[in-house]
Amino acid sequence: MKKRIIRIASFLAIGSLALFLLAGCSGGDDKEVRVEYSPGAVFTTNVKDSDRLLKTAPVLVLDKEGLEEMLDLNIISIRDTIIFVLRELNEDSIRKSGRHEDLRERLAAELNEVLEIENIVDVRFSDFVMG
């Protein structure tokens, strides 16, 4: 009877360990950090060569925690860079398929350069309307 209980307990322990490892819970050291930072309210800017306006609310995605204070101190540079990039868009480029992905990459690259960091890994939009 004891041998049977030991076998069952061993089987359950090995099965639990295998499930734990397969689920990717090997200790949490390789967990990817994603922090979202909003650079303020909605951005409204002119569309190049048009009388239309673009209204958008970008959210910066960071790969490191603890940068919020530094970003708050540089909010003017962040907002200026975002407005500068958005004002270069024209109607065709806004409507063009895949343009949003290009815009995300460009904003992340420009902001990383201005802030002299490499932690902005993505830009998401909670609003993106041309009117």
Q: Could you read off the pLDDT of 104-128 as tens digits, one per residue?
A: 999 999 999 999 999 999 999 988 8
3-state SS, the chain, equals CHHHHHHHHHHHHHHHHHHHHHCCCCCCCCCCCCEEECCCCCEEEECECCCCEEEEEEEEEECCCCCHHHHHHCHHHHHHHHHHHHHCCEHHHHHCCCHHHHHHHHHHHHHHHHHCCCCEEEEEEEEEEEC
> pLDDT digits over 32-70, tens only?
889 999 998 899 999 998 999 999 999 999 999 999 999
For the stretch 73-82, pLDDT in tens is 999 999 999 9
68 and 108 together in one domain: yes
Same domain, 6 and 47: no
Range of the domain at 27: 1-31
Pair (24, 45) in one structural domain: no
Amino acid in the structure at residue 92: D
* Same domain assignment for residues 78 and 124: yes
The pTM assigned to this predicted structure is 0.73
Looking at the structure, tell me whether residues 71 and 16 fall in a common domain.
Answer: no
